[in-house]
Amino acid sequence: MDECKPLLSGEVEKVRADAAEAAARVKEEAAEILRAARAERAALDAEKAAMEKTYAFQTKKVHLDVGGHTFTTSLPTLTSVRDTYIGSMFSGCFPLAPDPTDGAYFIDRSGAHFEHILNYLRDPGRDKLTTRLATPQETRHTT
């Protein structure tokens, strides 16, 4: 039996080394899972904050008077497409005040076509604005 002790001792050491190596791998995997969970949580918190901000904006209605036609929408809709007349107007970069009598912002453009523009602003990625909204003078061809 004494001659088996060195063999058993070597086997025990090998098992201990394998166990330590496996424990280190598990610890490393657990740390990676924890890092991924924290990153997901941070992304979720950021998305939640953005949604709360959007909800707060959307609960505040914006009333428009476009060429005598009235429209109601939200600030995120009006600023959804950058570098546009409407987007710039409501960006906060320029002083803008609603009419004190009705609380609407006046836009001196054709109200008959503004519904199409507003629908495009509500979902700019879904439909391309394919119809050219022009006055009869703009569509006349000169020869």
Q: Which tokens belong to 31?
A: 């740390």
pLDDT(127) > 70: no
- Across the range 102-106, mean pLDDT stands at 93
Split at pLDDT 50, 70, 90, the class of 141 is: very low
